[in-house]
A = this chain, B = another copy of it.
């Protein structure tokens, strides 16, 4: 690997050298920190990542059954139940039976839900801006491209899930 950068992956300066060579560790650490920043930001408005994933999926793809929503959002069907309960209680979504298939529920966003998604989007955009601050626009594009290829590779192969 080209050693053109003096990498520091953890706070402090006592990081084992071996960590620097492991991609999974690096992405993991970066993501963990970014995730925490995002999590704290969401927590500030009483939301969790699961809430955002579900609301974002609904905003992007429209109403869906819970099974379809689970597939789209990446939240497990079993976990989705509780998340939807909370979102219903907060008035962000509605859950009603599907007249075409009585096994299913149809999940739809409310007006408040639409506003909530926009609010959470703004918050996460701010987090992204903060996290990516040291990179230029071109570098962000480059990072996006590289990560995209790795991600597509991981999704294509049967590595996980």
What is A's interface to B at a CB cutoff of 8 Å? Answer: 1-12, 14, 16-38, 40, 56-57, 59-62, 67-68, 71-72, 74, 114, 117-118, 121, 124-125, 127-135, 137-156, 159-161
Contact = CB atoms under 8 A, between A and B. Distances in A.
Interface centre among A34, A137, A145, A151 (most CB of B within 10 A): A151
Nearest to A109: B10
B34 A23 contact: yes
Given A38-B24, A72-B14, A142-B142, A150 B135 contact: yes
A23 to B, nearest CB: 5
B125 A30 contact: no
Given A8-B155, A23-B131, A133-B153, 16 more contacts: A1-B141, A2-B137, A5-B149, A7-B60, A7-B151, A10-B59, A20-B124, A23-B128, A24-B131, A25-B38, A27-B27, A31-B31, A33-B151, A134-B150, A142-B142, A143-B143
Which DSSP category, helix, strand, loop or mixed, fits chain A's interface? helix
Contacts of A18: 56, 60, 121
Given A10-B155, A148-B7, A30 B33 contact: no
Contact of A36 (B1, B140, B161): B161
A21 B128 contact: yes
Interface centre among A37, A38, A150 (most CB of B within 10 A): A150
A146 B154 contact: no
B153 A134 contact: yes
Interface centre among A5, A74, A138, A139 (most CB of B within 10 A): A5
